[in-house]
Amino acid sequence: MAITGKTRICGVIGDPIEHSLSPTMHNAAFKEIGLDLVFLAFKVTPDQVENAVKGVRSLNILGLNVTMPHKNKIISYLDKLDPTAEYLKSANTILNANGLLTGFNTDGTGAMQALLQNGTDPNGKKMLILGSGGAAKAIAFAAARTTDQIVILNRTPNKSQEFAKNLNHTLKTKIEGDALTSQSIEKNMQDAQIIINATSVGMQPHDKISLIPPKLFKQTQTILDIVYNPIETKLLNDAKKAGAKTVNGVEMLIHQGAASFEIWTNKPAPIEAMRKAITNQLMTKGEST
C-alpha cells in the first residue's frame, strides 16, 4: 500500500535495534491485510525513553513494541498498564488510543500461544521453566493461568525462589522455585511434560551448549526454546533426536508479535505471512536479534 498523508506509524524502540526482526514481521502483516500502517525501528538510548514516549503522543504514533533495555523503564511514562504489565512491571507493547497510552506485555501469552498453535495445550501440564529473567517471569505468569504444576529453576536460585514466592502470593498457586543444577534438572525432567528454556543459553555465538543433557528427553515431552538465533538450538536439536516435540523461538516471536498486532489493529494477525517474512529474513540475511 502506498504511503500517503493518512498512513500511520507503529514501531519498535530499543538499543541496539538495527537487527530487529519486528519491522519485517509487522510490515508483512500490514501488507497482507492491506492496512494503511508502516512499522519502523527506532534506536532509543536509555536517557531518551521519556522523550520517545512524548514523541508517540505528539506524532500520534499508533503503537510501539518495546525491547531491551527499556521494558521496565517505559512503564513509568504510560497512562495505564494492563494487569500483566502491571504485575511484571514490564511492557513490550504500547497502544496509543486517542492520546491515552496503555502498556501491555505479550511475551507470556506469546509463549503459550506458540505451544498451543503448534499442537501442545499447556492446560494442566507439568511445566519446567529454566531462567528467572524478564522473559521467564512473563512466561511463568501466563503459564500459571493454565496449569498449577510449574517448577522454575534458575542459576541464581534466590531469583527463582523469590519469584515463585511472589507468584504464589499473588495468584494463590503452588509454583516451586529452585536452583538450576544438574540434579534439579534430572529430577524435574522425569515428569515434566513441557520444558521451556527462558534463558539465553544456546544463543549464538554460544550455540554449542544446552542446559539439558540429551539422555533426559522423552518422546512425550514438548520443548520450547525462546532463543531463535539459531532457529534450531542445540536444546531443540537434542530433543528432536530423542523424538520429543519441539517449538522454536521464532514461534514465540511470531505469537508475541501477533498479540501486539491485535492490540494495535483489533484484527486477527496473519500468522502465516508473519512467519514467512521472519523465516526469510533469518535464513537469507542471518540477522541476529
Q: Does 201 bind ligand ATR (CB under 6 A)?
A: yes
Helical segments of the chain, H only: 22-33, 49-58, 83-88, 107-117, 134-143, 157-171, 182-189, 234-241, 249-265, 271-285
Residue 74 binds to ligand ATR (criterion: CB under 6 A):
no
Closest residue to ligand ATR: CB criterion: 133
Our CB check for ligand ATR shows the closer of 113 and 197 to be 197
Is 132 an interacting residue with respect to ligand ATR (CB under 6 A)?
yes
- Which of the stretches 43-51, 194-202, 230-238, 269-277 binds ligand ATR when contact is defined by CB under 6 A? 194-202
Please report how close the Cβ of residue 138 comes to ligand ATR at its closest, in angstroms. 8
The single residue among 134, 177, 249, 270 that binds ligand ATR, judged by CB under 6 A, is 134
Can you list the pairs that 211-214 forms with residues at least 24 positions away whose Cβ atoms lie under 8 Å?
211/130, 211/180, 211/185, 211/235, 212/185, 212/238, 212/239, 213/182, 213/185, 213/186, 214/238, 214/241, 214/242
Bridge partner list, 104: 93
CA–CA gap between residue 26 and residue 8 (Å, rounded): 13
For residue 107, give Cα distances in angstroms to 65, 101, 185, 211, 258.
11, 19, 24, 22, 11
* 67 belongs to the binding site for ligand ATR (CB under 6 A): no
Decide if residue 136 touches ligand ATR (CB under 6 A).
yes
- How many residues belong to the site for ligand ATR (CB under 6 A)? 14
Residue 73 binds to ligand ATR (criterion: CB under 6 A): no
DSSP 8-state secondary structure symbol assigned to residue 219: T
Assess 7 for contact with ligand ATR (CB under 6 A).
no
For ligand ATR, the binding residue among 41, 101, 112, 135 (CB under 6 A) is 135
Task: Round to whole Å and give the CA distance between 28 and 254.
Answer: 12
Maximal CA-CA distance, the chain: 61
Residues with catalytic annotation? 71
Pairing of strands 150-154, 127-130: parallel
Q: At closest approach, how far in Å is the CB of 65 from ligand ATR?
A: 14
Q: Contact region for ligand ATR (CB under 6 A) — 33-41, 171-179, 184-192, 198-206?
A: 198-206
Which of 35, 85 has the CB closer to ligand ATR?
A: 85
- Say how many CA atoms lie within 13 Å of 31 toward its Cβ: 13
In the complex, the smallest distance separating the C-beta of residue 90 from ligand ATR, rounded to whole angstroms, is 8
- Cell numbers representing residue 3 in the block: 504511503
CB of 229 closer than 8 Å to CB of 203: yes
Residue 71: how many CB atoms within 10 A of its CB?
A: 24
Shortest Cβ distance from residue 142 to ligand ATR (Å)?
Answer: 14
Q: Count Cα atoms within 13 angstroms, Cβ side, for 97.
A: 11
User: If binding is defined by CB under 6 A, does position 131 make contact with ligand ATR?
Assistant: yes
122 vs 131, which CB is nearer to ligand ATR?
Answer: 131
Of 150-189, which residues contact ligand ATR (CB under 6 A)? 154-156, 159, 180
Smallest distance, ligand ATR to C-beta of residue 59, A: 28
Q: Write down the least CB distance from residue 200 to ligand ATR, Å.
A: 5
- By beta-carbon proximity to ligand ATR, the closer residue of 19 and 267 is 19
Q: Using CB under 6 A as the criterion, which residues of the chain lie in contact with ligand ATR when the complex forms?
A: 131-136, 154-156, 159, 180, 199-201
